[in-house]
A and B are shown apart, each in its own frame.
Chain A
Amino acid sequence: MNVSRLLVVVGFACALSPEPAAAQTAAPKPPQPKISTATKEKAAEENANPDAIILSDFQKRIDAYMDIHKAAAKEAPPLKETKNPAEIKAAQDALGAKIRAARKTAKQGDIMTPEIQNKFRRLMYPVVTSPAPQGTAGREVKKDIKEELKENTEERKEEGGKPVVLKVNATYPSDTPLPTTPPQVLMNLPKLPEQLEYRLIGKNLIIRDVEGNIIVDFVPNAVQ
């Protein structure tokens, strides 16, 4: 077989292959656990799983934030039913300002510490990124999640609005779409009090104070 015939055969074989070689990109590798020495020591001391220590730490930080939220809410005009949506925004802004004042030194990572961020990435990876065998429910779920994330991008293009500034205490712009966060993703994350919610801004996961309309903290590149 001469070289040209060999090339034709190889080319034909490539054309018949179910997926082009270039398209067979490997799924991103799962994030590896990054656990601090302090957490490892505490886990050993308490004979506990280090991840349980990390999630417990997250809960304590959320509880501390909620103490600030509740104290601020006592001083702000209450959110109540109204025919005028501007009043809802005004109440959110007032509460947001009180919370911001109470935690003016807050910065990214105060709640979502590096090891909590790492834990969140690990929690999200199996739901969003990791490959699922064909024909399984997991594959359908992932397809749905990808569609929802795509919808976010489309909606953002259609609606415009100010870009979201990923900054602790920043107000979420009211003319910008609130991106959807698939329920399957939410189910895999630690539960939040009803005053808070998770939202996915691109690949970043934010914790948003719904009543104060501010960004409480965030995980950059939560979706790997």
Chain B
Amino acid sequence: MRRSLLFVLMLLVLAVSALVAQDLTVPMKNGSVKFAVIGDTGTGDKHQLAVAKQLTATRAKFPFEFVVMVGDNIYGGNSAKDYDRKFAIPYRPLLDAGVKFYAALGNHDDPSERYYKPFNMNGERYYTFKPADGVRFFALDSTYMDEKQLKWLDEQLAMSGSEWKIVFFHHPPYSSGDTHGSDETLRTQLEPRFVKAGVNVVLTGHEHFYERIKPQKGIAYFITGSSAKLREGNITQTQCTAKGFDSGYTFMIVEIVGNDMHYQVITDTGKTIDSGKVQRVGKVEPTPNRTAQPVVATGGADKKTPSKPVKQ
């Protein structure tokens, strides 16, 4: 009797494990670069807490090492209490587990946030970091995109060589949002540089929804601006939209394995609303006259996009 009970229990455990494993579409390879992306987070309200809770739960299955924050990290006041309520408390379990956060400044952020050590900005408005061989991130301040920053970006991109080049900042150069839409000025400033230097992926926020843009000039663009704030029904699908989700709070998990970047977008209730991979096509040559290494983005799980007319 006991043996059969044990057997049933084991079956149950295996079934639950299988279900949990099914939740994840990322490959979970040893030695891969694993990270999460959150955006427009710093409200301190229940939605931020719900996303943070789900993010923490996801890490139990997918042990990401760091989190990229695409801006609006501290909304409203920015007293010491605000830093606690809008960052340290929601992400406490992750911080305690040694997960590093890398922040970019949004339009609602005080630039003095760059001195807050847990944001890992080294006291700079824009900076770069390399979490592993072959992958480099570039954080930009898209509110003040001045000549000095652009010159710095050109130099850093040129020095980066044959790495995955992932740039993150707040304002999206491409967006199907009704409220803000694409920041075309920023696109004019940045896109030629990205193409020339072979940037692969751009992560942004600002719009309070999730959107994956069809690769533009060989670059994959993602908007993850609904990790605490949401503008329901704000997406009007455009020709650029590969996937849009504007009815729930989300974050993204990412895994880089060789020339593949796998992504999965999860809601605060644990539902996967998008997944797929960005694939670097061709070999990146570290020559002075590099051109963009085209990416192919393939969608996965749920391809349903808001049923709205296509904006021409």
Contacts and interface: CB of A to CB of B under 8 A. Distances in A.
A140 interface: yes
Interface string B136-163: 0000001111101000000000000000
B115 A89 contact: no
B180 A147 contact: yes
A88 B112 contact: yes
A85 B83 contact: yes
Nearest to B45: A158
B77 interface: yes
B108 interface: yes
B185 A187 contact: yes
A85 B144 contact: no
Contact of B143 (A81, A85, A183): A183
Given A85-B84, A155-B76, A183-B107, 14 more contacts: A81-B116, A82-B116, A137-B184, A140-B181, A140-B184, A148-B180, A174-B77, A176-B77, A178-B78, A180-B143, A181-B107, A183-B185, A183-B186, A194-B148
Contact of B180 (A144, A174, A187): A144
A171 interface: no
Contacts of A182: 107
B122 A81 contact: yes
A194 B107 contact: no
A177 B144 contact: no
Interface in B223-252: none
Interface in A155-203: 155, 158-159, 161, 173-178, 180-184, 186-187, 191, 194, 197
A79 B123 CA distance: 9
B75 A197 contact: no
Given A140-B181, A184-B185, A175 B77 contact: yes
| Best-surrounded residue of B107, B116, B122 (most CB of chain A within 10 A) | B107
A29 interface: no
A197 B107 CA distance: 12
29 contacts: A79-B115, A79-B123, A80-B123, A82-B115, A82-B117, A83-B117, A85-B80, A85-B116, A86-B80, A88-B116, A140-B181, A140-B184, A148-B180, A161-B77, A175-B82, A176-B76, A177-B75, A177-B108, A178-B78, A180-B107, A180-B108, A183-B145, A183-B171, A183-B183, A184-B185, A187-B185, A194-B125, A194-B144, A197-B144
B125 A213 contact: no
Interface of A: 79-86, 88-89, 91-92, 137, 140-141, 144, 147-148, 155, 158-159, 161, 173-178, 180-184, 186-187, 191, 194, 197, 210-211, 213
Given A140-B181, A183-B143, A81 B123 contact: yes
B82 to A, nearest CB: 8
A224 B148 CA distance: 31
B131 interface: no
B216 interface: no
A213 B82 CA distance: 16
A81 B117 contact: yes
Nearest to A162: B77
The DSSP consensus for interface residues of chain B is: loop
B269 interface: no
Contacts of B185: 141, 183-184, 187
A48 to B, nearest CB: 23
B307 interface: no
A183 B190 CA distance: 14
B77 A177 contact: yes
B260 interface: no
B111 A197 contact: yes
The 10 closest A-B pairs by CB, nearest first: A159-B76, A175-B77, A180-B107, A85-B83, A86-B80, A174-B79, A177-B76, A85-B80, A83-B117, A81-B117
Interface in B56-94: 75-80, 82-84
A208 B191 CA distance: 31
B179 interface: yes
A41 B140 CA distance: 44
B23 interface: no
